[in-house]
Amino acid sequence: MYCEKLKSIVKQIESIKLNINNEFIARFDKCIKDNTTERERLKLNPIKIANEMGISQELVMKFFNIGKKVELFKAIAFYSCPCGEYFEIFNFDKTECVNGCEADIINNKDRVFIYFELLEEVDECDLDIGEIYQMDYISSDDLGNFRSSYDEYEKVIGEEDAKNLLNNVVNNNELKEISIIHISDLHFGSDYNTGMDNKAGLMNIRNMSPDIFESFSKKVTELNASYLIISGDITSKNEEKGFIEFKDKISKLGIGSDKIYIVPGNHECDRNRESEDGQFALFASYTRGFKTIYSDEAYILDENNKIFIYGFNSVNFKKENEKELFYIKNEEFDKLDYICKQLNQQKEDFDSYTKIAVIHNNLIPHPNIEIKEYAEVLNLFLIKYKLVKLGFKLVCSGHKHEELIEKHTVYSDENESEIVLASAPSLCGSVFNGKNGFQIIKILNTSENKASKFIINKYETNILNDFKFKGKTEINLNN
């Protein structure tokens, strides 16, 4: 494919106008083979290539733009922060570097630098095709003085092409990005300590600060996320007061209720009731209109972005012995099996959907937070095994008020599969290290609509209870 795509550049109308001919691509091919390593081909600098080819930098920038259109290259962009940090960006949205600096990218295009990834493995090409026209080569003084910044691309290839170039980092006909906000353990309701979830037994446990959610709300407006996942404990003591406060605040976030998936936590369990329906009756009532395990259609199915989100109840309370156990019942998996079979029959490409499970209790042990009998999920391996068998790639959870992210490999008789476990910190409740937080999960899909990477951006509160970017975890997926 490398040779085919390289040759196809010559046939483009724009290439003919620019006199990008067989001799040009022969020089490029030689430069790539002689002067770059496989690692360097993941991040090619057009300016460096132009200098090594002895060709105008401006012309080579245009060549890479054409090569991007025929899918020989993929554009990637990096932002140079005034504080000295240098990091990859995926769109024009305002963001923050790891030092907390706000990056206003749209007004600092000179700080955005464009590189290109060679998408095909280099091969031996027969480039003796068609008529070869003589090129005029220039002296080193006339090569140009470009830096490969985004504002320069606007001048060289035009604003529209430059816009599509950077959009390519997101859409790229190869990569498409979907963002999901993941929060957990909001603990609305009781404003006294006994209503809080004191995991670590801390003496200085503090009440929920109302301004924390207000700070989160302001951040949400900047994030432009497609979905909101809430992995349980939306109240402190399963009180109507907490549910009313929750609905009021969530409704003001500007995210449609059909884009919000919620599972119950152990703080939504009424321990005075015997049946599961009775124990979670308030939760089912006050979350009507959102997507939950109690909805008529208990999942989110996004056909455009190829996303499937499904939740479980992992809280099981036995009134006769006052014992609280965490596990997922077999009948819940039977229900999921049936739904997946139905969707596979209805959607030819359902296998390629990014499938996300939501559960309150962690599938990652947190022994430094809570050590007691039955504190962890009992059928841990079975859950992971069944999920990977159905094609799930991500599990969102909460409960322990501490953030942990891991990628697990699950082995079966047939093969081995990977699943990412993302445990969110508490958004508003009391936390072990004194900092609340949430996650932005970015899903990068290939042109076949298969998830190729998860990027989990982590936010936490500072001393003023403002949410600041903490860092990110990038996880490549094997499809």
* Same domain, residue pair 100 and 144: yes
What integer is the mean pLDDT of 4-10? Answer: 90
Confidence band of 174 (pLDDT split at 50, 70, 90):
very low
Q: Which domain holds residue 344?
A: 176-197+208-476
**17-31, 109-123, 295-309, 363-377: least confident range:** 363-377
Reply yes or no on whether the pLDDT at 438 is more than 90. yes
Does residue 113 lie in a domain region? yes
Reply yes or no on whether the pLDDT at 456 is more than 80. yes
* Same domain, residue pair 356 and 384: yes
Reply yes or no on whether the pLDDT at 363 is more than 80. yes
* Same domain, residue pair 168 and 300: no
Does residue 338 lie in a domain region? yes
pLDDT of residue 196: 45
Does residue 46 lie in a domain region? yes
Whether 103 contacts 79, CB under 8 Å: yes
Confidence band of 189 (pLDDT split at 50, 70, 90):
confident
* Same domain, residue pair 251 and 346: yes
* Same domain, residue pair 212 and 361: yes
* Same domain, residue pair 434 and 468: yes
Distance between start and end Cα atoms, the chain: 21
| CB contact set of 236 (below 8 Å; sequence gap of 6+) | 187, 188, 189, 190, 195, 196, 197, 208, 242, 267, 429
pLDDT of residue 162: 85
**Domains of the chain: total:** 2
pLDDT of residue 170: 38
* Same domain, residue pair 325 and 351: yes
**286-300, 342-356, 368-382: least confident range:** 368-382
Does residue 129 lie in a domain region? no
The share of the chain scoring above pLDDT 70, in percent, equals 83
Does residue 369 lie in a domain region? yes
**Could you read off the pLDDT of 406-419 as tens digits, one per residue?**
999 888 777 788 99
Quote the pTM value: 0.66
d(CA 374, CA 359): 17
Reply yes or no on whether the pLDDT at 134 is more than 50. no
Length of the chain: 479
Whether 327 contacts 334, CB under 8 Å: no
* Same domain, residue pair 155 and 22: yes
Reply yes or no on whether the pLDDT at 229 is more than 90. yes
Confidence band of 102 (pLDDT split at 50, 70, 90):
confident
Does residue 202 lie in a domain region? no
What CATH number is attached to the domain comprising 376? 3.60.21.10
**Could you read off the pLDDT of 241-284 as tens digits, one per residue?**
999 999 999 999 999 999 999 999 888 887 778 777 878 899 99
* Same domain, residue pair 74 and 191: no
pLDDT of residue 369: 53
pLDDT of residue 366: 56
* Same domain, residue pair 377 and 321: yes
Nearest Cα neighbor of 103 from 90, 122, 116 is 90
Does residue 290 lie in a domain region? yes
Whether 236 contacts 192, CB under 8 Å: no
The share of the chain scoring above pLDDT 90, in percent, equals 41
* Same domain, residue pair 55 and 86: yes
* Same domain, residue pair 232 and 150: no
Does residue 250 lie in a domain region? yes
**209-213, 248-252, 334-338: least confident range:** 209-213
pLDDT of residue 249: 93
| CB contact set of 390 (below 8 Å; sequence gap of 6+) | 336, 337, 340, 355
Match 């697990």 to its residue by tokens: 408
Nearest Cα neighbor of 231 from 309, 308, 155 is 309
**89-93, 115-119, 205-209: least confident range:** 205-209
